[in-house]
Structure 1
C-alpha cells in the first residue's frame, strides 16, 4: 500500500514538472496546475507516512502558489508542511513555517486565519518552549484585538498569563493579567475581573510587592459589584493576614474553594504562599503543650506544601 502511494506521488511530481516547463509555444509556466499536482503528491506521501517527502511537496506547492500570487493557498501549503515537521518531531521548524503562513494570511487580508494559525503554533510548542508559546499567544491575541474580536483575544491572553506564571516571569504575568482584566471590564464581564484580581494579587505577593497587591484590590473597587463580593472579602482577609504575618489566616484563605478551584497555575501560587518571616504559623491560644504540637504540625504542613511545589511554581 505504501509503495503504491509513493509511486502515485512520484507520478504527480512528474506531471508538476511538465507543467513548469516552457517551450517556444508556452512562454509561461503553469504554476496553478503544478501546485495542484504537488498538493496531490504531498497527500500521497503523507498517506504513505513519508513525512519528509510530503513536507517537500507541500513546500513546492507553496512556492508555486506564491509565483501565482495566490497567497492564501501558499499559506495553507506552508501550514501543511509545518504539520509534516510536527509528525517528524521537529517542532521549532514546524512553528517557523506556521509563523510564515500567518504572515501570508495577514498579507492576504485574512487576519482571523492568521491568528488561528499562531494559536495552533503556540499549542505545538507549549511543552517544548514556554517563552515561544507565550510570544505566539500574545501575537495571536494582538491580531484578534485589532479585529475587535475581544473574547478571542482575551482567551489567548489568558493562556499567555498562565504560562508566564509557570515560567516564573511574574512581572510580565502581572502586566498580562492587567490587560486581561481591562478587556473583561470592557466587555462587562465583571465576575471574571474579580477572579483576575485574585490571580494578580497572588502574583504580586509572590513578587514580594504587598503595595502593588493592595493597590490592585483598591483599583478593583471601581468595578461594579466587587465591593462586598466574596472575592473582595477573601482578598481583604488575605492581605490582612499577609500584612500581620499570620500564616494561619493566609493559608485558610488560600485553601478556600474560591482559591483552590482557580486555574491550576494560580491555585498553586495560593497553596505555596508564605508570609514574610519564614512563614511559621502563629501558635493558637492553647496550653503550652498543645501550642507546641500545633506549631510542629503547622510547620510540617508548610514543609509538605513547599515540597509538593518545590519542582513547580514555588
Structure 2
C-alpha cells in the first residue's frame, strides 16, 4: 500500500514538472496546475507516512501558488508543511512554516486566518517551549486587536498572561492582565473584569507590591457591578488580611471556591500566597488592669526580680 502511494506521488510530480515546461506554443508555465499536482503528491506521500517528502511537496505547492499570486492557497500549503514537521517531532521547523503562513494570510488580506494559525502554532509548541508559545499568542492577539476583534484578542492575551505567571515573569504578567482587563471592560464583559482583578491582586501580592494590588481593587470600583460583588468582598478581605498579617484570613480567602477554581496557574498563586512577617497576626495594643503606670512597674519588678547585690 505504501509503495503504491509513493509511486502515485511521483506520478503527480512528473505531471507537475510537465505543467511547468514551456514551448513555442506554451509561453508561460502553468503554475496553477503544477501546484495542484504537488498538492496531490503531498497527500499521497502523507498517506505513505513519508512526511519529509510530503513536506517538500507542500513547499513546492506553496511556491507555485505564490507564483500564481494565490497567497491564501500558498499559506495553506505552508501550514500543511508545518504539520508534516510536527509529525516528525521537529517542532521549531513546524512553527517556522506556520509563522510564514500567517504572514502570507495577512498579506492576502485575511488577518483572522493569520491569527488562528498563530494560535494553533502556540498550542503546538506550548508543551515543549512555553516562551515561544507566549510570543505566538501575543502576535495572534495583536493581529486580532488591529482588526478590532477585542474578544478574541483578550482570549489570546489571556493565554499569554497565564504562561507568564507559570514562568514567574510576574512583572510582564501584571502588564498583560491589565491589558486584558481593559479589553474586557471596553466590550462590557464586566464579570470577566472581576476575575481579572482577582488575578491582578494575586500577581501583585506575589510581587510583594501591596500598593499595586490595592490600587487594582480601588480602580475596579468604577466597573459596573463590582462593588459589593463576591469578587470585591473577597479581595477586600484578602488585602486586609495580608496587610494585617493575618494568615487565617488569607488562607480562608485563598482556599475559597472563588479562587480555588480559577485557571490553574492563578489557583496555584492563591494556594502558595504567604503573608509577610511569617503570618503572625498583628496584636492591637491593650492597657493592663493596673492602668497607665502598670507597664513601667512591671519593668521595674523584672529588673530587680533577683534582688540587689
**TM-score, scaled to structure 1:** 0.88
When residues 282 and 215 of structure 1 are mapped into structure 2, their CA distance, relative to the original with a 3 A threshold, is: closer
Matches within 5 A, 1:90-109: 90-109=90-109
Out of 225-234 and 18-27, give the one that drifted further.
18-27
Contact persistence 1:55–1:80 (CA under 8 A): yes
Counterparts in 2 of 1:31-70, with a 5 A limit? 31-70=31-70
**C-alpha distance in structure 2 between counterparts of 1:281 and 1:17, whole Å:** 80
- 1:20 match: 20
Further displaced range: 17-26 or 241-250: 17-26
Report the equivalent of 1:261: 261
Q: Deviations over 1:107-143 (max 9, x none)?
A: 0001111111010111010111111111111111111
Structure 2 residues not aligned, in runs of 5+: 284-309
Counterparts in 2 of 1:157-236, with a 5 A limit? 157-236=157-236
SS at match of 2:208: coil
Alignment of 1:130-169 (within 5 A): 130-169=130-169
- Asked whether the equivalents of residues 45 and 53 of structure 1 are also in contact (C-alpha less than 8 Å), the reply is yes
Shift of 1:281: 7.4
Cα distance in 1, alignment partners of residues 67 and 230 from structure 2? 60
Secondary structure of the corresponding residue to residue 12 of structure 1: helix
Who is 2:75 aligned against? 75
Is 2:244–2:282's contact at 8 Å kept on the other side of the alignment? no
- For the pair shown, the structure with the greater C-alpha radius of gyration is 2
- With 156-165 and 271-280 compared, the bigger mean Cα shift is at 271-280
Matched-pair contact (CA < 8 Å) for 1:12–1:41: yes
Aligned to 2:304: none
Q: Is the 8 A contact 1:248 1:282 kept in 2?
A: no
What whole-Å deviation, never above 9, does each CA across 1:203-238 have from its counterpart, x for those lacking one?
000011111001111111111111111111111110
Q: Secondary structure at the match of 2:277?
A: coil
Gaps of 5+ in 1: 284-314
Residues in 1 aligned to 2:124 and 2:279: alpha-carbon distance in whole angstroms: 39
Secondary structure of the residue aligned to 2:22 is: coil
Shift in Å, 1:279: 3.9
The 1-side partners of 2:281 and 2:66 are apart by 66
Q: Secondary structure at the match of 1:27?
A: coil
For 2:103 and 2:281, locate their aligned partners in 1 and report how far apart those are by CA, in whole Å: 54
**1: distance between equivalents of 2:232 and 2:256?**
14
Give yes or no for contact 2:165–2:265 (8 Å, CA) kept in 1. Answer: yes
**Cα distance, 1:280 vs structure 2:** 5.7
TM-score by length of 2: 0.89
Q: Whole-Å Cα distance in 2 between the matches of residues 163 and 145 of structure 1?
A: 20
- Secondary structure of the 1:185 match is helix
- Could you tell me how far apart the structure 2 residues matched to 1:2 and 1:97 are? 26
Runs ≥4 in structure 1, deviation > 6 angstroms?
none
| Paired residue total | 283
Q: Which residue of 2 aligns with 1:311?
A: none
Judged with a 3 Å threshold, the aligned counterparts in structure 2 of structure 1 residues 33 and 99 are, in CA distance, closer, same or farther, namely same
